[in-house]
Amino acid sequence: MTVKKPFGTTEGGEQVDLFTIENSSGTAVDIITYGATVNSIFTADRNGDKADIIMGFDTIEGHEKLSNYQGMTVGRYANRIADGKFTLDGTVYDLVRNEKGITCLHGGGELSHAVWKAIIVDDSSVEMTYTSPDGAMGFPGKVDFKVTFTLYEDNSFKIDYFAVSDKKTVINMTNHAYFNLAGKGDILGHELMINADCFTPTDANSIPTGELRSVEGTAFDFRKPKPIGRDIGENDEQLIQCKGYDHNFCLNESDGPAAVAYDPQSGRVMEVFTDLPGVQLYCANFLDGTRAGKKGVPLIKHCGFCLETQFYPNTPNMPDFPQCTYDAGEKYESSTVFRFSVK
Ligand code: BGC
C-alpha cells in the first residue's frame, strides 16, 4: 500500500509531500519529497513491537534548518571533493566549498535540500525525480536524477539511483540515513559487520590520503561482527581526528551483504547490499544533543550510524580509485538494499 499526504511547506513556500509504503507485515517506510529523504522506517523487534529506526526530524523546519543530511538523498557528488576542485578534460571546475570553506561536501547540499517531484509507481514503490542545472554548485552538465524507493514483502527496502547528464560529469549518489535499530539511545552496543579488508585513511580535512590501509589489527576491522563502541575510543589518530568512525571502507567483492548491523536488545537486524565499491561508516560523531530531533528528543552523539554506500571520497582527484565520471548521455545506475529481520 502506498499513501501520499502533505508534510509541510518550505520556507520558500514549496509544498512537501510524504509517501508511506507499507507491506503486509506492517513494515513501513516514509519518504518525503524534500531531499528525497527517508524520513522513517518502522520495523518490528523480536517481540513484534514496531519502532521507528531512523533518527531525524518530524517537521520540514527540522529538515531545512537543523539537518546534518539525516535520511537525505545526497549528491550530485556524495562525500568530499578536496579543495572544492577537480579537472575534467583540461577544464578546472570550481565547486561550492560548503565545508569550512575548504572542501565540497555532499555536492554542496544540492540534491538533499531540493524539493523533488514524486509519483506513486505501485503498491510498493515511489519514484522521485529532480533536474540539476548545468553549473549547479560548480559541476558541469544538466543532470536528470531519479531515485526509486521500493519496499518488498520480505522487508527489503531498495533504493535505485539513476542519473544522466548532457555533459561529461562526475556522479556519486547515496542515502544519508542515520539508523538506530533500537529506535532510541545510542548505537555503541549495536554489532556491526563490514565486508572490507581495507579502508581509506584521511587527512585533517577528511580527504583520503590515497592509501588503502588494511583493517587487520586495527579498530577498523569489522570483518567479524563487533560492537560499534568496542574500539571507537582507541588511541588511533584516524579515530581521534574524526571523533570516531567517519571513514570509507573498500568493500570486498561478494554476493553477500556489504554490511550487517544487529541490535542485541531489540533483536533487529539490517543487512546492506550494494553494487558500489565503498561505504562510509559515520556514527553521528559530530552531533552533541543541542539539536532536537523527532518528538523533541535531542540528537545526541552516536545516536545513529550511517552506512553511506558510495564511490570513494574525492574520486575525481584520485585516478587510482574506482572512477565515477560519466560521459554525456551515459547512464549512472546503482542500487542499495537494506533488508530488515530479527534474531
Ligand atoms: C561525513 C561526515 C559528516 C556527515 C554529515 C558524512 O558523510 O563523512 O563527516 O559530518 O556526513 O554531514
pLDDT digit string, tens, across residues 218-234: 999 999 999 999 999 99
- Pocket of ligand 1 contains residue 286 by CB under 6 Å: yes
User: Which residues does the annotation mark as catalytic?
Assistant: 176, 308
For residue 309, report the distance from its CA to the centre of ligand 1, in Å: 13
Burial code (b: 16+ CB inside 10 Å, e: under 16) for 10-42 equals beeeeebbbbbbbbeeebbbbbbbbbbbbbbbb
Q: Whose CA is nearest to atom 10 of ligand 1?
A: 286
CA distance 19 to 38: 10
Give the pLDDT band of residue 249 (cuts 50, 70, 90).
very high
- Pocket of ligand 1 contains residue 79 by CB under 6 Å: yes
Q: What percent of the chain has pLDDT over 90?
A: 100
Q: Whose CA is nearest to atom 5 of ligand 1?
A: 68
pLDDT digit string, tens, across residues 272-315: 999 999 999 999 999 999 999 999 999 999 999 999 999 999 99
What pLDDT is recorded for position 11? Answer: 97
Which residue segments constitute the domains of the chain, with CATH numbers given? Answer: 2-342 (2.70.98.10)
For residue 129, report the distance from its CA to the centre of ligand 1, in Å: 24
CA distance 258 to 307: 10
- Pocket of ligand 1 contains residue 265 by CB under 6 Å: no
Whole-model pTM: value is 0.98
Amino acid (1-letter code) at residue 318:
M
